[in-house]
Structure 1
C-alpha cells in the first residue's frame, strides 16, 4: 500500500545541467554525508526524492533544505505527520514500502541506496529496473540478492557505485581491463572497539562498549556489526558480487589507523591502495561526481602526522562472525541471506538487552546450521524467494531466542 499527495515531480538531469540525486535512507549517517556534499555544491547537484523509515522531523527538514521534489516515510503510520510537516511546501509526500520503491524508480542520475537492512533490497532493484545508476551503501542488497542485483546491473550497463569506504577504495584501484590479472582484493578493518580484547571479555561486552567505534560515527546496527566484525564479513560477500572474484581471492587485514581502506594485488607484484581520512563524505563525494572528481568539504590526511601504518591478521576465534560470513560466502546459494537475517535478529536482541554480545555469533551459527540441516540453502530464483527465505530465517532465529 502507498499513500501520496501529488505534485508533478518528473525531473531528469542532462548534459551540462546539475546531476539529479535521490537518497534512500536520508536520515542515516550516509544520508547526512550525501546531503552535506549536495548542499556544498548546489550548482552540481539537485535532489529529487528523499526517504526515511520513521524520522519524519529530520526527513522533512532535509526535504525543505535540499529542495527535494518527493519525500517518503517508509512507515505508513507516519504519513499524516510528514504531510503536516511539509504542508505549505511544494513537495510531494508518500508513505509505505511501495512509495519508497516509487521514489527509487523516479528518474535520477544517481540513486543513493542507504537504507539499512533487508528493507533496502527491493528499492535497490526498483532503482536499477528504472534505469537509474545506483550508489550502494545497503549491504543486504548484495549479500542477500547479489545475483539478482548484478544481473540488473549488467542489463543496465552501468556499474554499481560503492559507497562503503572499503569498496569505494577497491573501485578506485580496480583495473577492469586487467581484471584477469588480479591476484587478491584486500579489505581493511579497524578491528573495532574490541581489537585487543580477549574472547571472554568480548563475549561479555556491554552495549555501550560495543557502540564505541574508534573511528566512525554510524547507526547502532552497523556499529554493532563492526564490533563483531560481521560488517567486514558482509563486505567480503559484497566484494565477491561487485568484482566477480572468488572467495579465495578476497582477504581481510586489520588496519587500526583506517587510512588505507582497500587494496588490489596484481599478478606483476603491484599492490594498489586508496588512502583517505575515515570520513564517509569521501566515498559519497566520489560516487556523486563519478566518473569525474569534484571538490568536496571532506577531511584530509597528513602522512607525516600519521607517522606509521600497522597491520594485523584477523582473529577468527575472537571474532566468530567473520568466520561465519566466510563460510557463508564459500557455501554460496542462500546461506549469506540466511546468515544476514539471523544477524539482524541477533543484533536487535543484543541492543534490547536480551542476549550477551557473544550470543550474536551463537545465534547466527545455530540458524545457519538449521537451514543446512534442512537442505534449504539453494540459490533464490527471484526476489520473492529472497524475501521469503529472509523471513523464514528470522522466524527460526526468534524461535531459538524464545
Structure 2
C-alpha cells in the first residue's frame, strides 16, 4: 500500500575513468625520433547531484540503482588530449539526505541550490610528451588514466516544511491542507487515505507565507515500524512547528484525549527531541460534535501541558484563518528549518597490496611501476597534502615495492614513474 511513495533508496554511483595517455612521435628535422607528441587522456566524468523542485519522491530510483558517468577518451598524437568524459547529473527532490551506505553517516543535505559533486572522475593519464627531459629525449611510454571514484549511498527524503500536520488517520489533515493552501491531496472517507506526504504553501498576508506538510496518519506502534511507521515519521524531523489535528466530533467513537496522548507518545518514542517541538492543537469537526464535553476535556488536558488549542472545522472552513494566523505568529520567532551538517569523513582507500606490481625499466633508465591496486590507490591520494604523501609512502613500503626495486638494481637518483607522478629514488 505504501509503494506509491518512495522516500528511501540505495544506489551505486561510479564516476568515469580517466583516458589513457598515448605514445606518439612527430617528424621534425634534427629532433630525435621526431620528438614525443603523445597527448593526455581525458578526465573521467563526475557524478553530480542537483536539486529539482519538480520532484517530490525518490520514485525514479526504485528501478534504476546503478549510475555511471562517461569515461575519458584516450590521448592522440600531435599533442591532442582525449575528450573529457561526460558528467552524469542526478536530480533529487529538495530535502534529500545523502548517506554513506556502510556507516549511515550524512554526506550531504541537498536542501540548497548549489550542485554537489558526489564522485569525481579519474584523472587522465599523461602522454609521452610529458616525460621528455634533456637526458630522456625519446620516452617510449605513457600512463594509463586513473579510475573514477565510486560509492554506495542511501538517499533519504526528509521534507522541507515549516509546519507538519500530525494526528490519527481520517481526522481531517488532508482537508485542512486543501482549505488553507492550493494543494489538492486525494481525500476519501477511509483510514490511511494519504499514502504519501503532500506539501502546500499557505499564504497568510502580504509577504507572509509558509510551507505545510500533510503527514500520513500516525497509528499506535508507528515509532516501532507499525503501519507506515518510520517511513513517514522522518518527514516531521525538519518541521519547526506541529499542528496536531484531533477529531472531537465523536463520530467514530474515538476518545480525543486518548488520541492526543497516543500520538505524542509515538513522537516521543521516535525522537525525544521531536516530542518537544512546539505544537498547536486543532480540535477539528466541531460543527458535527456530538458531545461538547469531549472538547472541554481535551481543552483542559492540552492547557495543562502548555499547548494552545483552537477550534476548527476544516470541511466548513471554520476557524482555519485563525489557525494559520497563529501558526505564522509562532513561526516568526522559531529557528529556521533544520539543515543537517555532513558527518561522513572519507576513509583512506583500501588497497590490497598483496597483488604483484608490474615493474620494468625503460631504455632511458626510468623505472615504470604499474598495477591495478596502485592505480586505485593513486586515484584517492591527495599529493598536495603531507600526511597523504606519508601514508602513500608507508603503503608502498609495506607492500614490498621498494625492496623489489632494490633487488632489481635501482640506484639512488634513479627516476621512478607511477602513472602521472614521478619521483627520484632515495634509500
TM-score (norm 1): 0.28
Higher strand share: 2
Higher helix share: 1
TM-score (norm 2): 0.27
